[in-house]
Amino acid sequence: MRVTFTVNGREQEADDVWEGESLLYVLRERMGLPGSKNACEQGECGSCTVRLDDVPVCSCLVAAGQVQGREVVTVEGLADQARERGGRATDGTTLDQAKGWQAKPHGAQAAQPGQLAPIQQAFIDAGAVQCGFCTPGLLVAADELLERNSSPTDADIREALSGNLCRCTGYEKILDAVRLAAARQDEVV
């Protein structure tokens, strides 16, 4: 079957997709976007987390046909998305603003290669990355958390990230990274 959908702001088309392929497979193997990781394939580890029509989902459990006509943002699109969001107020992004977001990879606003979203920089600065396999999924989930809740409590962070497993860090540095990104977000008023 043919599947057409938007990935990081670009219309994408995949032909001869087997019905049993997951969104994760299509992204990694057909679209050259290996950022979303393939680990448990059961929706338990969150390493394949992407945003589908704005909300984080496990792309390993989305059948390819289900994404027809929908919008996907992967970790590769985080920097562009963050630039588009721009100078947000400290009370976070409204639902309408979030829904209205469009990546413009070809426009003047596009992030340059190597540019990072604030959440990515915070993960580096806080030492929240060890082997790195869980990192893309955590970045997508944490970025979405901070978009809807600019001052999350530790309980908010734990609940929002409970679907993302990390076997290296013990999570403390990841919590630090999200707190850091939230604090930096507050500075940019």
Interface residue with another protein, options 1, 124, 131, 188 (CB under 8 A) = 1
Which of the residues 135 through 154 are near another protein (CB under 8 A)?
141
41 vs 110, beta carbon nearer another protein: 41
State the Cα angle at 64 between 61 and 67, rounded to 5°: 95
Count of other CB atoms within 10 angstroms of residue 126: 19
Binding of residue 20 to another protein (CB under 8 A): yes
Intra-chain end-to-end CA distance of the chain, in Å:
47
Q: What is the phi/psi pair of residue 105, to 5°?
A: -65, -25
Binding of residue 162 to another protein (CB under 8 A): yes
Of the ranges 51-59, 104-112, 124-132, 180-188, which one interacts with another protein (CB under 8 A)? 51-59
Interface residue with another protein, options 8, 49, 93, 185 (CB under 8 A) = 49
Q: How far is CA 98 from each of CA 82, 103, 150, rounded to the nearest angstrom?
A: 11, 12, 13
Residues forming beta bridges with residue 56, ordered by sequence position: 51
Q: Three-class SS of residue 178?
A: helix
Binding of residue 42 to another protein (CB under 8 A): yes
Give residues in contact with another protein (CB under 8 A).
Answer: 1, 18-20, 22, 41-43, 46, 49, 52, 55-58, 61-63, 65-66, 68, 141, 158-160, 162-164
